[in-house]
Amino acid sequence: MATPLGKPSDKAVRPESPGPVRVAVKCGVCVVALLGFVVPATTFLARLASIRILPATQSVEELIRGSIMQRLKNIGGRIGHFGIVAAFAAFCAFPFYWMLITTFKQTNDLINVKNNPFLYNSPPTLENLRTLFIDTQYAQWLLNTLGVGVLVVLITLLLAVPAGYSLARLTGRWGQQLAIGIFLTYLIPPTILFIPFSRIISDLGLQDSLWSLVLVYPSFTVPFCTWLMMGFFKTVPRDIEEAAMIDGLTRFGAFLKVVVPISSAGILTVIIFTLTLVMQEFVYALTFITSSSQLTVSIGVPTFLVRGDVYFWGSLMGACLIVSIPIAILYNFFVDRFVAGFTVGAVK
Amino acid sequence: MATVETRSITKSFDGINAVDGINLLVKEGEFLVLLGPSGSGKSTLLRMIAGLEIPSAGEILIGDKVVTLLPPKSRNIAMVFQSYALYPHLTVYKNIAFPLEAQGMQSKVVKSKVEQAAAMFGIGRLLARKPRQLSGGERQRVALARAVVREPVVFLLDEPLSNLDAKLRTTARDELQQFQRRLGTTTIYVTHDQIEAMGLGDRIAVLNQGKLHQLGTPHEVYDDPADIFVATFIGSPPMNLVEEPPCTIGFRPEQFLPIECYGSRGDLVRFAFLVTRVEYLGADRLVYGTLTAHPEVKVISKLPTAVTVTVEKGERHEFAVPRKDLKRFDPGSGLKVSAK
Amino acid sequence: MATLQARSHLLKEEQSLGRWMLAPAVIYIAALVGFPFLLAIYYSLSDATVGSQVLHFVGFKNYQRIFENSTFWTSLRNALVFTLVSQLLVVILGKVLAMALYKDFRGKWVVRFLILLPWVAPISLGSIGWLWIFDPVYSVINWAGRASGVFGDNFWPIWLGQPDLAMASVIMVDVWRLLPLATVIILAGLSSIPQDIHDAAQVDGAGFWRHLTHINIPLVMPIMLVALLFGIVFTFTDMIVIYVLTRGGPYDTTQVIASYAYFTGIQGGDLAEGAAISLFLFPVLVAVAIFLLTLARRTEVT
């Protein structure tokens, strides 16, 4: 088992399997500790909601009106709110911040236990990034991932867009049932399917080839994207299609020439979502592919950037960051639609 | 039961005054209507009285107590929203009981009060249902019952009839007024419908763009409008306005009749009228046309069926208005000018 | 008469068009999800290995072997603990954060960007970031704790090496990566409550606690259950976080069903046993899905 610098397994003592009571007690303690944060925070936020402390758009004059008590409450409320939001944002973003710092640190700086890791004790360097791109196949992995991504997007669009339209417009009652059925395929996750797939892929001769991924990935992108597109198509007014059909187009023609262009935002969402799913996928890639030149980023980085027992942390962090940030930026534009896709079924 | 007073109450959003320095005194037990078009600030004013918005300036007093910055629950008021705002996940019983339970009342007391309130509106048999199982009219009654059960000193109603079918609206209006008379609670009612306002209000406050234009009884507001806005907002079809320097004169369509109707009265102002269109509406006839003296101005006359004078399209006919019914307004400010 | 015929003809045409447009997707899903699933069941009842050319039916022998294997039970228990604890945390913290994000404030889009990062980054890469944060020698948490004096001189937690700590660390990473999704979903639910209801509750005199428990939470409950359902599915079936951080160690204290199935089936080569192990994911998922969806339907409000 590959271990990072210093061997943790030496320090671990083989325990007897802890009884369920002990496990429960430990969980309970942790939960209570966390509630010590959650309960005050929730109470505080609920108070914010019900007392009319208005948001940041409230003018300064209104903020300082009233008695001293009112003023204190208002300003205290604002500070507390900021505190809670900042705490969460810090928790979520810290690992990336840490990745950012580590990427540019010189290795001797990293290894020196005496150094303050938050400072650049030696000047920042691009050496790690250079190593990443020149000494590893990272660039190849990026290309692989992108290539697979593009192809999977195409397949997904070809399958999910017409299917979504059909479920939205053309299939009535049984279509609704089928739609739910399609969504429920998510209950059969890759971690069940990867075992039979490993045989199927090797029997098809696609072992160790990126094409295996292109074949298999749509199995989890198509269901959700069909659902997304169905929801999206339902919001297109029927009048527009009917006008097109009166103007001489067939139903399919109206679909191609009118509905699809109008739904470009939904299609874009599907594209982005599919791309992110491809970039994130791990289990199938781990199972099907072994040679280093055929890896995707998601697999290559954890398995190949480790040489024996030594991790090249600087390059490793850089590798993680380079992929994460662009996806994050892209994703932000489409979150709302994505969430609508998630919730459209349950909240009716 | 209490008075409600606002002193120079103002609310601005992004530099625009939604409510602009309004002074209002609602008498005890009065049914006051805040009337105005959308954007006039009437709902904002109501929400400030309720405590759901903080005024930018000015004071609000309920029963001589300054409540400007107090939260709604400290004001002893009840509110009925346009959408009724019933709690969708609670039964009708729980909805009505909610304010009482929030006060920590004992459940036995709560039960009797809820049943009383439900009986007042005839919804006793609906107590176990949820809002989504009720019709619009039933939901409205639940909202009213919830408001009544707290025995507040002021009722605030925000267009509670606008979500009802037109047919239901007249009966609902009637019931609403009866119930308010019975309870005698001070009531402030917001609407954009002038017929509702005229029918329900003891006094009407006419608002536009955040300012109070006139506060008066339906009679005063109709027969003696304070300015051009009030004159044209109230009355359907609206008052005819004609520029006759140095004033703008106004006369209501139902007072603008063929000269024959007025017989031999001496105090008439005559107009030469060219008829362009006649609409037969059953109970009335609407005659559209222009005055010869002012051919660019369109005026309307409203003839009840009792008036049998024939009026034809294309005809030139002499119409008249009694002098005392002719209003004068200053063209610059729009305010009324007293007759000399 | 003619129009009736024409209309039913058109209807049939549309229906057939509907089927044609739907067919490719359905066939693909059936072939790539349904078929392998059945194959997995078949494998679990056979003696398949990675290299074997012929398969023999062996009945429930694999299952018997698993039931006698204590590692399997450990994995099952770990998987349940892992899922329940992390999802409980995710839902509660997600609710708190959603409430904090409910009101508009300046710079909200920055906060939203930061908060979405854990969900958006590829799971394996985000986990590697935490691997570095949890490093036994260089952990920044330990450094900060030691430097600020919070950690005593003898207190140097090996986050991924000590049995209970390892589970806690893995749970923390899972919470970290699923919190954004839950928050965004719950926020959508919160925003769908009409402002009128909040106003009415204020006028009715509900204090902040009553408002929260009687109005806020009941109305958001269906959506919270959806977020919980997704979280449970993602967590219970996940092997990535564990593979990257601990490989199931130390000594199987963080081994879960999915990772155990991988190590047995692919690394170990015993496809049949791996398949049998992985199939234990399915009934739990189905049960959870049915339970939560029924609950959600029952608390449906509009």
CA distance A160 to chain B (A): 36
Name the token pair of A236.
């297109």
Q: Which residues of C196-206 are buried (b: 16+ CB within 10 A; e: fewer)?
A: bbbbbbbbbbb
Q: DSSP secondary structure string, chain C? A: -HHHHHHHHHHHHHHHHHHHHHHHHHHHHIIIIIHHHHHHHHHHTB---SS-SS--B-TTHHHHHHHH-HHHHHHHHHHHHHHHHHHHHHHHHHHHHHHHHHS--TTHHHHHHHHHHHHHS-HHHHHHHHHHHT-TTT-HHHHHHHHHT-S-TT----TTTSHHHHHHHHHHHHHHHHHHHHHHHHHHHHHTS-HHHHHHHHHTT--HHHIIIIIIHHHHHHHHHHHHHHHHHHHHT--HHHHHHTTT-STTTT--HHHHHHIIIIIS--HHHHHHHHHTHHHHHHHHHHHHHHHHHHT---
Of A1-5, A300-304, B311-315, C85-89, the poorest mean pLDDT is in A1-5
What chains are in contact with C, requiring at least 3 Cβ pairs below 8 Å?
A: A, B
Name the token pair of C204.
């009715």
Superfamily, domain A127-343: MetI-like (1.10.3720.10)
* Cβ–Cβ gap B53/A62 under 8 Å: no
Q: DSSP secondary structure string, B183-225? A: H--EEEEEES-HHHHHHH-SEEEEEETTEEEEEE-HHHHHHS-
| A39 or A302, which is more confident | A302
Question: How many residues in chain A?
Answer: 348
Contact indicator for A84, A38 with CB cutoff of 8 Å: no
Question: Considering CB atoms only, which of B53, B56, B69 is closest to A66?
Answer: B69
φ, ψ for residue B252 (rounded to 5)? -80, 145
- Substitution target from C104, C192, C204 for chain B, most B beta carbons within 10 A: C204
Residues of chain C with pLDDT under 50: 301-302
Q: DSSP secondary structure string, A89-158? A: HHHHHHHHHHHHHHHTS-HHHHH-TTS-TTS-SS---SHHHHHHHHHSSHHHHHHHHHHHHHHHHHHHHH
Report, as an integer, the average pLDDT of B311-340.
Answer: 84
Q: Rounded CA gap, A285 and A149, in Å?
A: 13
* Cβ–Cβ gap C28/A218 under 8 Å: yes
Q: Rounded CA gap, A269 and A264, in Å?
A: 9
Q: Give the neighbor-by-neighbor strand order of the sheet with B16-26.
A: B16-26, B4-13, B57-62, B65-66
Report, as an integer, the average pLDDT of A135-154.
Answer: 90
Of A104-113, A305-314, C286-295, the poorest mean pLDDT is in A305-314
Q: Is A196 on the interface with C (CB under 8 A)?
A: yes
What is the residue type of C44? S
Q: Rounded CA gap, A48 and A79, in Å?
A: 11
Query: What are the CA-CA distances from residue B89 to residues A46, B128, C217 (Å)?
Result: 19, 12, 11
Q: Is B161 helix (H, G, I), strand (E, B) or coil?
A: coil
Exposed / middle / buried, residue B308 (Cβ in 10 Å: 0-12, 13-18, 19+)? exposed
The pLDDT score that the predictor gives to residue A66 is 59
Question: Considering CB atoms only, which of C196, C202, C218 is closest to B71?
Answer: C202
Q: Is B87 on the interface with C (CB under 8 A)?
A: yes
Q: Is A314 helix (H, G, I), strand (E, B) or coil?
A: helix
| B112: number of Cβ within 10 Å | 9
CA distance C152 to chain A (A): 17
Of A181-185, B229-233, C98-102, C199-203, the poorest mean pLDDT is in A181-185
* Cβ–Cβ gap A194/C302 under 8 Å: no
Q: Is C18 on the interface with B (CB under 8 A)?
A: no
| B154: number of Cβ within 10 Å | 23
Q: Give tens-digit pLDDT for A220-267.
A: 999 988 988 888 888 888 888 888 888 888 888 888 888 888 888 888
Question: Considering CB atoms only, which of B51, B83, B98 is closest to C204?
Answer: B98
* Cβ–Cβ gap C32/A219 under 8 Å: yes
Q: Is B289 helix (H, G, I), strand (E, B) or coil?
A: strand
Look at phi and psi of residue A130 and say left if phi exceeds 0, alpha if psi is from -120 to 50, else beta.
alpha
Q: Rounded CA gap, B148 and B182, in Å?
A: 12
Q: Which residues of B touch C301 (CB under 8 A)?
A: 88-89, 132
Query: Percent of chain A beyond pLDDT 70?
Result: 75
Q: How confident is the model at residue A31 (pLDDT cuts 50, 70, 90)?
A: low
Report, as an integer, the average pLDDT of B92-103.
Answer: 92
Q: Which residues of C touch B102 (CB under 8 A)?
A: 204-207, 210
Q: Is the pLDDT of residue B105 over 90?
A: no
With CA atoms as reference, the chain C residue closest to A324 would be C121
Report, as an integer, the average pLDDT of A54-83.
Answer: 64
Closest CA to C231 of C267, C186, C190: C186
Which residue is listed with tokens 């710092």?
A101
Mean residue pLDDT of chain A comes to: 77
Top mean-pLDDT range of A76-85, A120-129, A334-343: A76-85
Pairing of strands B154-158, B16-26: unpaired
Q: Is B21 helix (H, G, I), strand (E, B) or coil?
A: strand
Q: How confident is the model at residue A54 (pLDDT cuts 50, 70, 90)?
A: very low
Q: How confident is the model at residue A45 (pLDDT cuts 50, 70, 90)?
A: low
The pLDDT score that the predictor gives to residue A121 is 74
Cβ neighbours for A103, distance < 8 A, ≥ 6 positions apart: A128, A129, A314, A315, A317, A318, A321
Which residue is listed with tokens 């919804």?
B123
Q: Rounded CA gap, B32 and B202, in Å?
A: 6
Top mean-pLDDT range of B214-218, B321-325, C156-160: B214-218
Q: Rounded CA gap, B74 and A126, in Å?
A: 63
Mean residue pLDDT of chain B comes to: 89
The pLDDT score that the predictor gives to residue B110 is 93
Q: Is B300 helix (H, G, I), strand (E, B) or coil?
A: strand
The pLDDT score that the predictor gives to residue B27 is 92
Cβ neighbours for B222, distance < 8 A, ≥ 6 positions apart: B198, B234, B235
Q: Which residues of A touch C286 (CB under 8 A)?
A: 187
φ, ψ for residue B188 (rounded to 5)? -115, 125
Which residue is listed with tokens 């196949």?
A137
Contact indicator for A100, A321 with CB cutoff of 8 Å: yes
Q: Is B102 on the interface with C (CB under 8 A)?
A: yes
φ, ψ for residue A100 (rounded to 5)? -60, -45
- Substitution target from A51, A53, A58, A59 for chain B, most B beta carbons within 10 A: A59
Q: Which residues pair with B277 in a beta bridge?
A: B288
* Helix boundaries (H) for chain A: 8-11, 20-50, 60-63, 68-103, 107-111, 127-135, 138-165, 172-184, 190-203, 210-216, 218-234, 238-246, 251-254, 260-262, 264-280, 283-288, 297-304, 313-332, 335-343
Contact indicator for B32, B189 with CB cutoff of 8 Å: yes
pTM, two decimals, is 0.81
Exposed / middle / buried, residue B238 (Cβ in 10 Å: 0-12, 13-18, 19+)? middle
Q: Rounded CA gap, A27 and A21, in Å?
A: 10
The pLDDT score that the predictor gives to residue C248 is 80
With CA atoms as reference, the chain A residue closest to C119 would be A328
Contact indicator for A208, A299 with CB cutoff of 8 Å: no
Look at phi and psi of residue A166 and say left if phi exceeds 0, alpha if psi is from -120 to 50, else beta.
alpha
Name the token pair of C221.
């409950």
Cβ neighbours for A248, distance < 8 A, ≥ 6 positions apart: none
CA distance B99 to chain A (A): 15
CA distance A249 to chain B (A): 40
Look at phi and psi of residue B235 and say left if phi exceeds 0, alpha if psi is from -120 to 50, else beta.
left
Q: Which residues of B touch C201 (CB under 8 A)?
A: 87, 98
- Substitution target from B87, B96, B110 for chain C, most C beta carbons within 10 A: B87
Q: Is the pLDDT of residue B220 over 90?
A: yes
Q: Is B296 helix (H, G, I), strand (E, B) or coil?
A: strand
The pLDDT score that the predictor gives to residue A180 is 79
The pLDDT score that the predictor gives to residue A17 is 46
Closest CA to A117 of A93, A100, A92: A100
Look at phi and psi of residue B303 and say left if phi exceeds 0, alpha if psi is from -120 to 50, else beta.
beta
Q: How confident is the model at residue B339 (pLDDT cuts 50, 70, 90)?
A: low
- Substitution target from B77, B89, B151 for chain C, most C beta carbons within 10 A: B89
Q: Which residues of B touch A51 (CB under 8 A)?
A: 71
Name the token pair of B288.
């559209």
- Cα torsion at B35, B40, B44, B48 (round to 10°)? -70
Q: Is A33 on the interface with C (CB under 8 A)?
A: no
Q: Is C13 on the interface with B (CB under 8 A)?
A: no
Contact indicator for C127, C245 with CB cutoff of 8 Å: yes
Q: Is the pLDDT of residue A49 over 70?
A: no
Report, as an integer, the average pLDDT of A124-138.
Answer: 81
Closest CA to B92 of B65, B122, B118, B121: B118
Closest CA to A217 of A164, A279, A152: A152
Q: Is B126 helix (H, G, I), strand (E, B) or coil?
A: helix
ipTM: 0.85
The pLDDT score that the predictor gives to residue B125 is 92
Residue ranges of domains in chain A: 127-343
Report, as an integer, the average pLDDT of B141-155.
Answer: 92
Q: Give tens-digit pLDDT for C3-26.
A: 677 667 777 777 788 888 888 998
Name the token pair of C297.
């339907």
The pLDDT score that the predictor gives to residue A217 is 93
What is the residue type of B24? L
Q: Is B244 helix (H, G, I), strand (E, B) or coil?
A: strand
Look at phi and psi of residue B84 and say left if phi exceeds 0, alpha if psi is from -120 to 50, else beta.
left
Look at phi and psi of residue A126 and say left if phi exceeds 0, alpha if psi is from -120 to 50, else beta.
alpha
